[in-house]
Amino acid sequence: MEITTRSLWTLIHGMGFGALYLLAGSGAIVALYRQYSTNAPSQSEPGGDRFFGIYLTVMAALAWLTVLSGTYIIYPWYRAAAPAGTTNLAAYPRALLLSHPATKQWHLIGMEWKEHVAWLVPIAITMAAFIAIKYARDLRNHSQLRYALHGFVVISLLAAGIAGFFGAMLDKNAPVDGGQTIQLVQGEKE
């Protein structure tokens, strides 16, 4: 069982940082409701405010790791130009997608949207983490700050979902692969 370094980085970026962010995002919306809504069943959990601030900070760290690894590690492999005359475009995902009318839009719409919309996520969630830490328990007295927090967390989750969906589809149609091969499990000799 083997994996290439580029595939491994794609996994770390998408299944590691990105997927964890999406999972954490839905948790953040529930936590925001439970911690601060006046109708929530369990208000004022001890240490809940501090936990929520740390939770959003971890989400912000995940968001930054996702966009930075995507933009500066994986994207250069994705957009590498194929040398003239290259017939096998498997190592050049962007060129491979653009070479077929059936897959062209995955780049022109999918990647073009993903590469920009993903950057809204760390901005939105860093702001949310800052507010959760700065105001902590006092957030209960600032309903308008809570509304903004809700809005930004929901939109960041939507943006992350868009980026994640197109990331998965792009990797399905033109995987970023190559580099050194890492042997995970030694095969048995027959």
Partner 1 sequence: MSTQVAVTQENTTAVTNGSGAAAILSAGIGSFAVALFAIAADKSTFVKDLFVLYKPTGALSGETTAAILLWLAVWAILNWLWRRRNVSLPRINAIALVLLGLSLLLTFPPIGDLF
Residues that bind partner 1 (CB under 8 A): 67, 71-72, 75-76, 79-80, 108-109, 112-113, 115-117, 119-120, 123-124, 126-127, 130-131, 134-135, 138, 141-142, 144-145, 147-148, 151-152, 155, 158-159, 162
Q: Is 173 exposed, middle or buried (0-12, 13-18, 19+ CB in 10 A)?
A: middle
CB atoms within 10 A of CB 96: 20
Matching residue, tokens 């003239």: 84
Q: Which is nearer to partner 1, 87 or 144 (CB)?
A: 144
Structure tokens at 17: 């940082």
In contact, 28 and 129? CB cutoff 8 Å:
no
Q: Which is nearer to partner 1, 39 or 144 (CB)?
A: 144
Q: Which is nearer to partner 1, 3 or 158 (CB)?
A: 158
Structure tokens at 46: 């001890």
Q: What phi-psi label fits residue 18: left (phi over 0), alpha (psi between -120 and 50 degrees) or beta?
A: alpha
The whole-angstrom separation of Cα 176 and Cα 63 is 21
In contact, 7 and 176? CB cutoff 8 Å:
yes
CB of 49 to partner 1, least distance (A): 13
Q: Which is nearer to partner 1, 48 or 189 (CB)?
A: 48
CB of 126 to partner 1, least distance (A): 8
Structure tokens at 171: 């990797």
CB of 138 to partner 1, least distance (A): 5
CB of 43 to partner 1, least distance (A): 18
Q: Which is nearer to partner 1, 19 or 124 (CB)?
A: 124
Q: Which is nearer to partner 1, 101 or 187 (CB)?
A: 101
Question: Residue 14 gets which letter from DSSP?
Answer: I
Angle ∠(54,56,61) on CA atoms, nearest 5: 95
CB of 13 to partner 1, least distance (A): 14
CB of 102 to partner 1, least distance (A): 18
